[in-house]
Amino acid sequence: MQRLQAKIYGRVQGVGFRAFVLHRAQALNLTGTVRNVYFPSRCVDVVAEGPKTALQTLLDLLHEGPSMSRVDRVDVTWQAPTGSFSHFRIA
């Protein structure tokens, strides 16, 4: 088990990115959150916990995003899981 924190930059707000992440993370049986961040810069923040292979699959999907999005950059941090999530949700 691991914890992934990713900040996704580009055209990622108002294009269904959070719903895209929610459905993919739930399909991978991950727990965590996805939310829009507006300050200091606009991005989508994802925190997910689960098996490393599932997290890597999610990370690959974050680089693609839904069809209306444009991902310019993904900043990733790997951490020890905290077990603080019971499911995956939009925050």
Structural domains of the chain sorted by starting position, each given as residue range(s) with its CATH number in brackets: 2-82 (3.30.70.100)
pLDDT digits (tens, 9 = 90+) for 29-57: 999 999 999 999 999 999 999 999 999 99
Q: Which of 11, 35, 36, 89 is catalytic?
A: 36
3-state secondary structure of 72: strand
29 is catalytic: no
36 is catalytic: yes
Q: Which of 18, 35, 70, 89 is catalytic?
A: 18
Rounded Cα gap, residues 49 and 2, in angstroms? 6
pTM of the model: 0.96
Q: How confident is the model at residue 73 (pLDDT cuts 50, 70, 90)?
A: very high
